[in-house]
Amino acid sequence: MDSLLHLIAVYGLVVVFVTVLHDQGGIPVPAYPAIIVTTALAVTNGKPVWPILAVATVATVLADWVWFAGGRRWGNRLVRLMCKLSLSPDSCVMRTRGAFGKYGVASLIVAKFVPGFAAVATTLAGQSGTRTRTFLFFDGIGAALWAGGAVVLGVVFNDAVDDLLVNLADLGHMALPVVLGIIVAYIAWKWTRRQWFLRQLRMARVSSAELAALIDSGSAPLILDVRPEVDRHRTGWIPGAVFASTPEEAMAMPHQTVVVYCDCPNEASAAVLALAIQRRGFRNVRPLAGGVSAWLAEGRPIETVAGGLHGA
């Protein structure tokens, strides 16, 4: 434990930079404790804390910029990948993507304080064509606020942190395994929450072929599109689809059969809305398996903002 404390005391800024870069880059390394401990040690030793804030902010913006650049180049493919790999269970669902669609790039200021939002907001900024200067401005503010929160905690609770470090030091060689165990437990908790979330979304799906058959037979169900506006304009939408992002909007259109679709892994956004309106009385509600991507992959017709049908 002494060597760990020595590492933080001597190379605290490096530790903060590396942990924050990994955390914001998508690797579930808890960066906040590193910032808090480094700040508390700096206060105890009479050193300034502003370099810690600066380094944490720069590392955050750097990691975010990588995802922003990726979103600009690969667009929705990268968003889907992030949603699929993220340990945050509510990433990609309509509330998260809808928030960015509603508030735009300014939402980056508070994105890191909203669970599941920060995981995809920076990539959505790139996908939506946000200018780099605009992105860096708003993301920089958000990064400084996020890092500043940890620095403030380190300053305010430096005595408590010092006591905790003393207790860890008393554990001797067991201190490092304890710290590692806490990190592993944190990752396991995040993974467990994700699995629980996915289990909640298990419900019968309707295939693109089944939906097309219903439409062709003249008994088309109510089709709800929960994607952000930018995605709808980019790819078009299934003929007859109605745009809805909340259960209230869906409930205003009662129908015997409802199909909900999105464009994210596990049909998460669609399943969330489907479950919500099912619990409010709609009986036959099913997400579209594979979302709009499966519909497009099969060459089925779509409507676009230019008007008319396109495709098969």
Same domain, 138 and 231: no
Same domain, 53 and 23: yes
Q: Which of residues 248 and 22 earns the better pLDDT score? A: 22
54 has a pLDDT exceeding 90: yes
Q: What is the dihedral of CA 104, 109, 113, 119, to 10 degrees?
A: 50
Judged by average pLDDT, the poorest of 42-46, 72-76, 84-88, 189-193 is 84-88
Residue that is last in its domain, among 151, 183, 200: 200
Residue that is last in its domain, among 141, 173, 200: 200
What tens digit of pLDDT does each residue of 147-157 get? 999 999 888 88
Q: What type of residue is 96?
A: T
Mean pLDDT across the chain, nearest whole number?
A: 78
Same domain, 231 and 301: yes
Same domain, 59 and 154: yes
Radius of gyration (C-alpha) of the chain in whole angstroms: 23
Q: Which of residues 57 and 250 earns the better pLDDT score? A: 57
Q: At what angle do helices 175-200 and 2-25 cross, to 10 degrees?
A: 20
Same domain, 67 and 116: yes
Same domain, 180 and 216: no
CA pair distance 203, 123, nearest whole angstrom: 29
CATH number for position 230: 3.40.250.10
Same domain, 228 and 272: yes
Total domain count, the chain: 2
Same domain, 253 and 271: yes
- Most confident range, picked from 107-116, 132-141, 162-171: 132-141
Give the max Cα distance, the chain. Answer: 77
Same domain, 214 and 73: no
DSSP, residue by residue, 178-236:
HHHHHHHHHHHHHHHHHHHHHHHT----B-HHHHHHHHHTT---EEEE-S-HHHHHHH-
Q: What HEC string does 143-190 produce?
A: HHHHHHHHHHHHHHCHHHHHHHHHHHHHCHHHHHHHHHHHHHHHHHHH
Least Cα distance to 240 among 258, 257, 223 occurs for 223
DSSP, residue by residue, 99-146:
HHHHHGGGGGGTGGGSTTTHHHHHHHHHHTT--HHHHHHHHHHHHHHH
Same domain, 36 and 173: yes
CA pair distance 168, 178, nearest whole angstrom: 8
Least Cα distance to 223 among 285, 163, 152, 155 occurs for 285
Q: Give the pLDDT band (50/70/90) at residue 1.
A: very low
Same domain, 37 and 154: yes
Residue that is last in its domain, among 144, 174, 200: 200
Least Cα distance to 15 among 42, 28, 34, 29 occurs for 34
For 43, the domain range is 2-200
Same domain, 215 and 126: no
Burial (CB < 10 A; 0-12, 13-18, 19+), residue 46, is exposed
